[in-house]
Chain A
């Protein structure tokens, strides 16, 4: 459809170069993208948001919105979700940032660079049942390390696997995919740090710490913070990993939503699920707005380059 139109406008009447037509056809290319986001992002979001203001019979109501807001179990789950996301975003951003820095200062296009970036692309998507299994088999009560540690390192945390089955364990698992994601997101910014800036600073008598304090960190901060926000949302929305490791229906908000949607024991409550999702959407909207504002700052720098 779009291609057909393009062809007609392009060749048939000889007005190919017409500014008028070009301004119209330029938007056609973006149509598939808009259709995609419309179907898979905007429509579901609208469904969640509008559903949050309805009860289970489809009537307009704010009862569930209020009752969930005041429910101590829902609050605890939301708190857990926020805490977990904040922890893993901070740790992931710092460690991932350092790793990205190591990659950026290495030989560009070298073997280490290529392997690291390729590995990051894969590991950033490594989650869910497989990730939990990998950690259980390694650090779990019946895992490889524990068997070894009980014999040789009986006093270390490695000999007691209980940390893995808690919030901390979950945080470690999440960090496992947060670090590579940080590398992918943050690496381009680091690569945009021009060596000339450092040379200019040096030439003007600036010390290393002065360069970082006045040039490096100010330039990198918005991008770093933006990446951290992305990590926050990434773990805020994660579900499959937690579902296997922590078998508690109301532990995190995503788990609570799943329970409200699928409970076989009389807990099914789709309206509650939508309300919980709605609260998540609010958090994500706030975070992504901050992200967008930071990106604007970053692109300012990139344009002036």
Chain B
């Protein structure tokens, strides 16, 4: 008892435990003839068919931090498995972007190291040119929105965009403007998913409110003042919403990613309940895919990139409420699927994003301003 409590004593110590578990296995085996771990495009690996064959030989893809309720990742993973007949080993679905990179570094050289990353913009930019990502240009690269702006060297590739929204229980009526949330009927009901100092969802939630109030990405004080008022009225609660709190109605109003809320609408509907979304301003951020430089399954990693950024992949995102970066191109060329259009429509393609500098600046401000506004004793 004593020892177990002591070790769990610090999160850092617990994390380091992972370091201490020795798992040493043979390093990556590559397909005969060419070294796929160096391939920067499908053509260098015998095309997608060549990748698929090599991946089949590798037998497995390691993923990390892909929650099934998030942007239809369940559909994406099942689709990948069914199409290519390989196993997908999913580690730690609830990990943060930073933890993805940490896990890859820690497990470097083992078969358990993640093959691919799905990281927020701040972390993606932070690890550019550090040898963490293996550059890889998918076939659809030239048609992807933001790809050239974020990283022309294709170490990371923007994959989908989430638009922030306010999800809420239909039993609370209909929200038509932000200040509706000041109503006494929302007492103890409004929660933000994640703290802005740690979570990019939380940060984007603040950016969304800020923009709706006429603020800019460089100055989030308007949102902070709004949340302070919401807190003073007793309407804002500092609970970190989980699937359970949402499903049971403990957090009936949640500021969160649209592609998570889209999933909640479906599960609620299946339970005979109404869940709605109100989006006061279009703010979001891209999630970016990358191949790990230490991928134990280099062919599967590249195949996953091709798959998620293909038209089939875009369809999974769209149905899940996320906007694929291929979407603008698909709309333009009239290839967007009907189901996808029904889910995200034509409009949500131009959400505004904070640059990573703006995010860091906002964080520095929120470090003291946020607890002062919504903190508890």
Residues of B within 8 A of A140 (CB): 188, 250
In the complex, which of the residues B11, B95, B192, B375 contacts A257, with contact meaning CB atoms closer than 8 Å?
A: B11
Query: With an 8 A cutoff between CB atoms, is B237 at the interface?
Result: yes
- Who on chain B is nearest to A244 by CB? B240
| B39 nearest CB across to chain A (Å) | 29
A244 touches B239 (CB 8 A): yes
In the complex, which of the residues B6, B122, B203, B374 contacts A288, with contact meaning CB atoms closer than 8 Å?
A: B6
- Who on chain B is nearest to A46 by CB? B16
- Complex interface: stretch among A5-13, A262-270, A297-305: A262-270
| B199 nearest CB across to chain A (Å) | 6
| B275 nearest CB across to chain A (Å) | 15
Number of interface residues of A (CB under 8 A): 60
Please name 28 pairs of A and B residues whose Cβ atoms are closer than 8 Å in the assembled complex, sorted by A. A40-B7, A40-B20, A44-B12, A44-B20, A142-B188, A142-B189, A143-B250, A161-B188, A165-B239, A166-B376, A233-B6, A237-B5, A243-B240, A247-B194, A248-B375, A249-B196, A254-B10, A254-B11, A257-B12, A259-B197, A261-B98, A264-B120, A264-B198, A264-B203, A273-B12, A277-B11, A277-B13, A280-B9
- Complex interface: stretch among A20-28, A107-115, A129-137: A129-137
Instruction: State which residues 235-249 of A face B: CB under 8 Å.
Output: 236-237, 239, 243-249
B11 touches A142 (CB 8 A): no
B376 touches A39 (CB 8 A): no
- Who on chain B is nearest to A181 by CB? B1
- Cα of A267 to Cα of B361 in the assembled complex, Å: 11
B98 touches A263 (CB 8 A): yes
Query: With an 8 A cutoff between CB atoms, is A234 at the interface?
Result: yes
Query: With an 8 A cutoff between CB atoms, is A284 at the interface?
Result: yes
Query: With an 8 A cutoff between CB atoms, is B244 at the interface?
Result: yes
- Cα of A43 to Cα of B19 in the assembled complex, Å: 10
In the complex, which of the residues B188, B196, B359 contacts A141, with contact meaning CB atoms closer than 8 Å?
A: B188
A259 touches B195 (CB 8 A): yes
Q: Of A41, A44, A243, A281, which is in contact with the most chain B CB atoms at under 10 Å from its CB? A: A44
A264 touches B199 (CB 8 A): yes
Instruction: State which residues 213-254 of A face B: CB under 8 Å.
Output: 230, 233-234, 236-237, 239, 243-251, 254
Query: With an 8 A cutoff between CB atoms, is B2 at the interface?
Result: yes
- Cα of A265 to Cα of B191 in the assembled complex, Å: 19
Binary contact track A138-168/B, C-beta < 8 Å → 1, others 0: 0011110000000000000000011001110
- Who on chain B is nearest to A135 by CB? B250
Residues of A within 8 A of B14 (CB): 44
- Cα of A236 to Cα of B6 in the assembled complex, Å: 10
Binary contact track B183-222/A, C-beta < 8 Å → 1, others 0: 0000111011011111110110000000000000000000
- Complex interface: stretch among B154-162, B309-317, B336-344, B363-371: B363-371
A141 touches B122 (CB 8 A): no
- Cα of A162 to Cα of B195 in the assembled complex, Å: 19
Q: Which 4 A-B pairs have the closest CB atoms?
A: A141-B188, A249-B197, A237-B9, A277-B10
Interface residues of chain A: helix, strand, loop or mixed (majority): helix
In the complex, which of the residues A166, A167, A237, A259 contacts B10, with contact meaning CB atoms closer than 8 Å?
A: A237
B377 touches A166 (CB 8 A): yes
Query: With an 8 A cutoff between CB atoms, is B30 at the interface?
Result: no
Query: With an 8 A cutoff between CB atoms, is B320 at the interface?
Result: no
Query: With an 8 A cutoff between CB atoms, is A54 at the interface?
Result: no
Query: With an 8 A cutoff between CB atoms, is B8 at the interface?
Result: yes
Query: With an 8 A cutoff between CB atoms, is A93 at the interface?
Result: no
Contacts A136-B245, A167-B376; A44 near B16 (Cβ below 8 A): yes
- Cα of A230 to Cα of B191 in the assembled complex, Å: 34
- Cα of A142 to Cα of B251 in the assembled complex, Å: 8
| A242 nearest CB across to chain B (Å) | 10
Residues of A within 8 A of B234 (CB): 162
A43 touches B20 (CB 8 A): yes
| B357 nearest CB across to chain A (Å) | 9
- Who on chain A is nearest to B22 by CB? A39
Contacts A230-B2, A263-B197; A141 near B98 (Cβ below 8 A): no
Query: With an 8 A cutoff between CB atoms, is B97 at the interface?
Result: yes
Binary contact track B64-88/A, C-beta < 8 Å → 1, others 0: 0000000000000000000000000
A265 touches B371 (CB 8 A): no
A43 touches B16 (CB 8 A): yes
- Cα of A252 to Cα of B194 in the assembled complex, Å: 15
